[in-house]
């Protein structure tokens, strides 16, 4: 899985920057953009990562600052939980709604590095395996708040179209719960990395 992620990012950073040199004077001149995005995420204690997709909108507030709003669907992650008394799996899918502040760094002529930070609500469907349901755990949907921070690059194709790619770390506590003397939250973390790429259309 690490090799797959490394290959994806190697391709992005080798190919996408070339788009910035397509026309010497190209840069985004419009303040509002919207477009599809997709990426890969991996929670710290999940068995493996998964792909996700969604849509994002960005509002440029001059050359340095910007705002971003995004809605995504994250496919299933699986967490193994076990102890001498029980063994089971927890599966979760989420619908994040996030807002971010963007700080663009005007240090390169053909594409824009940026810092990103913000937060959002993660509407998460939690499914317990049969062995955990027998202990009293019930499938449920919950809303959890999480913070994120990271950085990326925006690559203008022309004054109306751009690509961006970034990496963010999500700070979010998992709350799988407890029933009787059985605790599922101990040493479980939903914190993790998210890698995202998007195609933006500015108006």
Query: Could you read off the pLDDT of 141-182 as tens digits, one per residue?
Result: 888 899 999 999 998 888 889 999 999 999 987 666 555 445
- Enumerate long-range contacts of 15-20, CB under 8 Å, 24 or more apart: 16/153, 16/155, 16/163, 16/165, 17/110, 17/111, 17/153, 17/155, 19/155, 19/156, 19/157, 19/163, 20/110, 20/111, 20/155, 20/156
Give per-residue pLDDT as tens, 56-88.
999 988 888 999 999 999 888 888 877 767 788
**Fold for the domain defined by 2-202:** Porin (2.40.160)
Domain-wise residue ranges, the chain: 2-202
Tell me the pTM: 0.77
């Amino acid at each position: 899985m690490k090799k797959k992620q490394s290959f994806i990012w190697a391709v992005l950073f080798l190919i996408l920057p070339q788009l910035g040199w397509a026309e010497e004077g190209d840069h985004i001149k419009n303040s509002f953009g919207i477009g599809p995005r997709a990426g890969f995420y991996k929670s710290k204690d999940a068995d493996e990562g998964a792909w996700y997709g969604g849509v994002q909108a960005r509002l440029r507030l001059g050359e340095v600052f910007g705002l971003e709003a995004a809605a995504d669907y994250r496919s299933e992650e699986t967490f193994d939980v076990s102890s001498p008394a029980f063994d089971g799996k927890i599966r979760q899918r989420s619908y994040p709604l996030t807002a971010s502040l963007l700080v663009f760094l005007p240090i390169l002529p053909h594409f824009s590095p940026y810092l990103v930070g913000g937060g959002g609500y993660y509407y998460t469907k939690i499914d317990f395996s049969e062995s955990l349901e027998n202990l009293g755990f019930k499938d449920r949907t919950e809303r959890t708040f999480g913070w994120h921070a990271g950085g990326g690059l925006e690559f203008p194709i022309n004054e109306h179209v751009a690509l961006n790619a970034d990496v963010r770390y999500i700070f979010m506590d998992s709350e799988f719960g407890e029933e009787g003397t059985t605790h599922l939250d101990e040493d479980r973390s939903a914190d993790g990395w998210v890698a995202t790429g998007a195609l933006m259309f500015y108006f």
